[in-house]
Amino acid sequence: MRDLLLEIGLEEMPARFITDSMNQLQVKVVAWLEEKRISFEKITAYSTPRRLALLIEQVAEKQEDIQEEAKGPGKKIALDENGNWSKAAQGFVRGQGVTVDDIFFKEIKGIEYVHVNKFIAGKETKELLTELSGIVTNMSFPKNMRWGSNDLRFIRPIKWIVALFGSEVIPMEITDVFAGKKSMGHRFLGSEITLSSPSEYEAKLREQFVIVDPTERKNLIRMQMKELENEKNWIIPVDEDLLEEVNNLVEYPTALFGSFESEFLEVPAEVLITSMKEHQRYFPVTNKDGELLPHFIAIRNGDSEYLENVAKGNEKVLRARLSDAAFFYDKDKAGSIDNYLEKLETIVFHEELGTIGDKVRRLVEISGTLAEQLQLEEGTQEQTKRTAEICKFDLVTNMVYEFPELQGIMGEKYARIFGEDELVAAAINEHYMPRSAEGDLPQSEVGAVVSVADKLDTIVGSFGIGLIPTGSQDPYALRRQASGIVSILFDTKCPLSLEEILSGVVNLFAEKGLLKRGKEEVLADLLSFFKLRLKYVLQEKGISHDIISAMLEAPVGDVPTYISRAETLQEQRTDESFKGIIESLSRVCNIAKSGEAGTIDEFLFEQDVEKELYTAYTQAQAQFDTFMKQGDSRQGFQALATLQPVIDAYFDNVMVMAEDEKVKRNRLTQMIQIANLITQFANVNDIIVK
């Protein structure tokens, strides 16, 4: 057994692609090794801005041998009329590398077939390793480039290749770069190294100021920042995304700190932090109370020599950035909300849906309707209206133009400066929430209502003109916005029906002539779209697949109760009575499919059990409606469960498909009414009971 090393040396790769590229190379090589039946003990992936590498330990010297059984033609075809081997049989064994003496017969489904045992000796591993070049060239990246006269499209130009199997170089070549034993150290601090074996890889590169293990680099950065925290009595909040990016920008990390003028602290902390992170990849510094301090942490790609000079250079660059931010902040404060709102009329939201100003006017209508339906207090409704009117004004400020990720955040800051109501100012920020899958949700009623209205406007507008997400394509982030709506409706225990909410917004777009498709088609697509978002919520809550299926085919109603209905079914399925209840309710739903809705005529009841079922249904419906309005799904299900014994007695004594057509229609109508009640909870036919 020998160790195997593969290193692809490159010009500096974009930091955001490095980790995925490293993992992709590992997955592809492991799959190749398994396909080729080459065993190994351990694989470790490495990456820096200038290299992607794999160290595979204890790789077998040859493929595993194969002993397999091969099936050939049927016995009648394999033997001629004289009992001699036919040309078909002879051709079969020749193709398998054996002789007719190796043939034996096996019966399969009553027919005998020719079989032979075939032995395939494994090839030497070193004969196969040249195929690794094909694995490398078949890698895919979000962005590729070509260089020189080469046809290969790759993430960056390949500068060197190390390919060692033990001490032997694997003969391979990519874009006129031939594999060898030489790798490159740090661009400025290191030099070229020659490897005699794969096991030397980490240690020899460390000597040349390259730490190839990304986890080790990241831990080193954390440790150095912790030392600065302890030394300076600071707190350094670690943004994991920024840490990942910085880690992929350096080969030999050294943390250093710098400072800036305290006057810049008059600019909102969010602006300073964003400027530090987005422009300079610096970590901000706070005190123990979370207040921003006039310092920053930078990660140098190098050693600790001349850190003071490096810090001064970073301070100079940051000072210019913060000066720009302070200038934008002062200039924005000199404006007014009304001026900014006027500018929104010139910003196109979508060519078929109008300007941002048009969107704002729709937001006022949608949020006003929601606030009214929720019966919010008059003052709250006024705050909702004002928030909807001005929630987008900061989009045309200098600060948000420079830092789009500050939309809403700067709206809140500026609204306070311009004298807006405190709750309205906070709601401007909240209406963008949640900003990510696990992001914070609005904490105020006003923020929640305007947030839902804003997202509904975008989603319904997009569906109305045919911009529906497909596969991985979702350029307007409609899935994320729909998930945000679901989260807000659930978090606020919103009692409004999702179907009614969507229908209202679709009608609004239809009235304004903004739908390019039929209303019913748009509404159906929207419901399916939102049910998929609800499906993911139920999956995260551990709801079984059959209950999720049952819920997806039922009306949604209000989101909190919808989720509660699914949770109730999940809980109840452990009860011994659950199986009987579901079977009885399913029987009603099944037979109801054979009829058409009508009106029940009690005079056509021929047996007492028909009257008993009708009475039980009436009582159950009243109880069900009461409990479900209260959001009590458990009691709602129990109201349906009370029907089980009466349903069972009914089917034991009544033939629904009676010869008398009127009686049959009446009985089917009764089944349909009960089924309609049941399916308000879930499509119980999809629930698997054992």
Please state the length of the chain: 690
**CA-to-CA distance for 13 and 157, rounded, in angstroms?**
9
Q: What is the pLDDT of residues 316-348, one digit of tens each?
A: 999 999 999 999 999 999 999 999 999 999 999
Bridge-based pairing state of the strands 42-48 and 253-259: unpaired
E strand or H helix at 164: strand 158-165
Q: Is-contact 92 72, C-beta < 8 A?
A: yes
**CA-to-CA distance for 183 and 7, rounded, in angstroms?**
8
pLDDT at 381 exceeding the cut of 80: yes
Mean pLDDT of the chain: 93
* Share above pLDDT 90 across residues of the chain, in percent, rounded to a whole number: 80
Q: What is the pLDDT of residues 156-173, one digit of tens each?
A: 999 999 999 999 999 999
* Residue 277: DSSP 8-state: I
pLDDT at 245 exceeding the cut of 90: yes
List, as one string, the DSSP characters of 643-688: THHHHHHHHHH--SS-SSHHHHHHHHHHHHHHHHHHHTT--GGG--
pLDDT at 536 exceeding the cut of 90: yes
Find residue 179's DSSP bridge partners: 161
| Mean pLDDT (whole number) for 282-288 | 96
pLDDT at 655 exceeding the cut of 90: no
**CA-to-CA distance for 687 and 650, rounded, in angstroms?**
22
pLDDT score at 569: 95
pLDDT at 279 exceeding the cut of 90: no
**CA-to-CA distance for 615 and 321, rounded, in angstroms?**
76
pLDDT at 436 exceeding the cut of 90: no
Enumerate the domain spans of the chain. Answer: 2-62+125-207, 66-120, 214-333, 339-540, 559-686
Q: Which whole-number Å values give the CA distances from 524 to 478, 506, 509, 518, 545, in the listed order?
A: 16, 11, 15, 10, 23
pLDDT score at 252: 98
**CA-to-CA distance for 247 and 675, rounded, in angstroms?**
60
Q: What is the pLDDT of residues 5-39, one digit of tens each?
A: 999 999 999 999 999 999 999 999 999 999 999 99
Q: Which whole-number Å values give the CA distances from 269 to 14, 61, 191, in the listed order?
A: 28, 60, 43
Cβ count within 10 A of residue 178: 12
pLDDT score at 481: 95
| Mean pLDDT (whole number) for 60-80 | 85
| Mean pLDDT (whole number) for 654-680 | 89
| Mean pLDDT (whole number) for 356-381 | 97
pLDDT score at 93: 84
pLDDT score at 568: 95
pLDDT tier, 438 (very low <50, low <70, confident <90, very high otherwise): confident
Q: What is the pLDDT of residues 177-201, one digit of tens each?
A: 999 999 999 999 999 999 999 999 9
Is the domain covering 559-686 a CATH 1.10.730 domain? yes
Give the CA diameter of the chain.
107
**CA-to-CA distance for 322 and 325, rounded, in angstroms?**
5
**CA-to-CA distance for 177 and 200, rounded, in angstroms?**
22
Burial category of 612 from C-beta neighbours within 10 Å (exposed 0-12, middle 13-18, buried 19 and up): middle
The number of C-alpha atoms within 13 Å of 586 and in the hemisphere containing its C-beta is 13
* Share above pLDDT 70 across residues of the chain, in percent, rounded to a whole number: 100
Q: What is the pLDDT of residues 461-495, one digit of tens each?
A: 999 999 999 877 888 899 999 999 999 999 999 99
Q: Which whole-number Å values give the CA distances from 493 to 67, 464, 567, in the listed order?
A: 64, 28, 15
pLDDT score at 598: 77
pLDDT at 119 exceeding the cut of 80: no
pLDDT score at 596: 80
Please give the CATH topology (third level) of the domain spanning 339-540: Hypothetical protein af1432 (1.10.3210)
Torsion sign (Cα): 285, 287, 290, 293:
negative
pLDDT score at 657: 85
pLDDT score at 32: 95
pLDDT score at 66: 78
pLDDT score at 89: 87
pLDDT score at 104: 87
What pTM was estimated for this model as a whole?
0.81
pLDDT score at 559: 96
pLDDT at 619 exceeding the cut of 80: yes
Q: What share of the chain is helix, strand, coil (3-state, %, to 5)?
A: 55, 15, 30
pLDDT tier, 610 (very low <50, low <70, confident <90, very high otherwise): confident
pLDDT at 386 exceeding the cut of 80: yes
| Mean pLDDT (whole number) for 617-636 | 93
**CA-to-CA distance for 446 and 367, rounded, in angstroms?**
9
pLDDT at 63 exceeding the cut of 90: no
Q: Which whole-number Å values give the CA distances from 136 to 103, 173, 483, in the listed order?
A: 43, 11, 38
**CA-to-CA distance for 487 and 113, rounded, in angstroms?**
62
Q: What is the pLDDT of residues 129-148, one digit of tens each?
A: 999 999 999 999 999 999 98
Q: Is the peptide bond before 253 cis (omega within 30 degrees of 0)?
A: no
pLDDT tier, 686 (very low <50, low <70, confident <90, very high otherwise): very high
| Selection from 80-84, 240-244, 469-473 with the highest mean pLDDT | 240-244
* Residue 41: DSSP 8-state: S
**CA-to-CA distance for 297 and 286, rounded, in angstroms?**
11
pLDDT score at 67: 79
**Tokens standing for 638?**
């129990």
Three-point CA angle 408, 500, 523, nearest 5°: 85
pLDDT tier, 530 (very low <50, low <70, confident <90, very high otherwise): very high
List, as one string, the DSSP characters of 77-123: HHB-TTSPBPHHHHHHHHHHT--GGG-EEEEETTEEEEEEEEEEPPP
pLDDT score at 226: 97
What are the b/e assignments for 293-311, b being 16+ CB within 10 Å?
Answer: bebbbbbbbbeeeebeebb
